Amino acid sequence: MASETVAVEDTFARATVPSGQVGLWWLGQSGYALRAGDTNLLLDPFLSENPDRIADAPIKAQDCDWVNVVACTHQHIDHFDAPTVQTISEVAPDAKFVVPEPIIHMATDLGIAAERVIGAQPGESINLGDLTIHPVPAHHGIHMTDAYNDGSAESNGLVRFLGYVVEANGLRVYHAGDTLVFDGMVDILKALDIDVALLPINGRSYFREEQDLVGNMGPRDAVELAHRIGASLLIPMHYDAFPANLGYPDHLVEVAGREHPDLSIMIPGRRSPFLYSKLA
């Protein structure tokens, strides 16, 4: 796959991805593109210009006419980026949008037809094109006053914060969204037989939480979680967008090398799509 952004449609969006492989492309922060068969999925695309972000996304929403599915894990702007979602809905009129059920209205309020929006909940798999999305709970919060839990207490019993396990081409990629490690999480994910784990590493901080910035797992928990669920590859995310909420992938590499050297770590670049292969 070519690494030049201008070639995305001719490379990533139309690449032949054989069985046992998926195409992946980090779009910055928690954003990922995933390709399997003829289906292109965007996970938590945060593509809008923002005066506070450190680096721009490698693609623009208006160039995403090749997208078939957009899946957002929760309502924070760097996960449900309303201008990006709305623009993609216009340039890709057949695209579907997967969001936690409690925030369906955030998509339909943008003018997206209700039949294009799929409300996701744990335990309810979603089949779309060449892939299946298995929603799983996450523990996060909109504000510090409601962190850290699955949001069901504020959503009439519906889980508000999700991760997605994407099953495609005979393997499974776990996109954690924003979450801490919580009781029962390892068992849920082990049962889904994860190959690749995309995990946040920005951690928690008393001083960030003073600013109402809800945190996530840090490098040590990310490494241990990936190890315990049996993932063969860990890719960190959610560490590069805002100066007040950074993470440090070099810490992740250090912890993995010391504590779980059999776990593979990849630090991708924003302009370098790649193929992940599962060996038989």
Per-residue tokens: 109: 């309020």
- Dist CA 278 CA 198 (whole Å): 16
Distance of CA 47 to the CA centre of its chain: 13
Tokens 């302009």 found at: 271
Per-residue pLDDT tens for 7-61? Answer: 565 589 999 998 999 999 999 999 999 999 999 999 999 999 988 889 889 999 9
CB 19 within 8 Å of CB 54: no
Q: Is the per-residue pLDDT at 1 higher than 80?
A: no
Residue-range domains of the chain with CATH = 5-277 (3.60.15.10)
- Dist CA 202 CA 176 (whole Å): 13
Q: What is the DSSP letter of 146?
A: G
Q: pLDDT value at position 8? A: 60
Per-residue pLDDT tens for 47-74? Answer: 999 888 898 899 999 999 999 999 999 9
166 contact partners, CB below 8 Å, separation of at least 6:
22, 34, 41, 43, 131, 132, 133, 134, 172, 173, 174, 175
Q: Where are the beta strands (DSSP E) in 179-246?
A: 196-200, 233-237
CB 223 within 8 Å of CB 202: no
How does the average pLDDT of the chain come out, rounded?
94
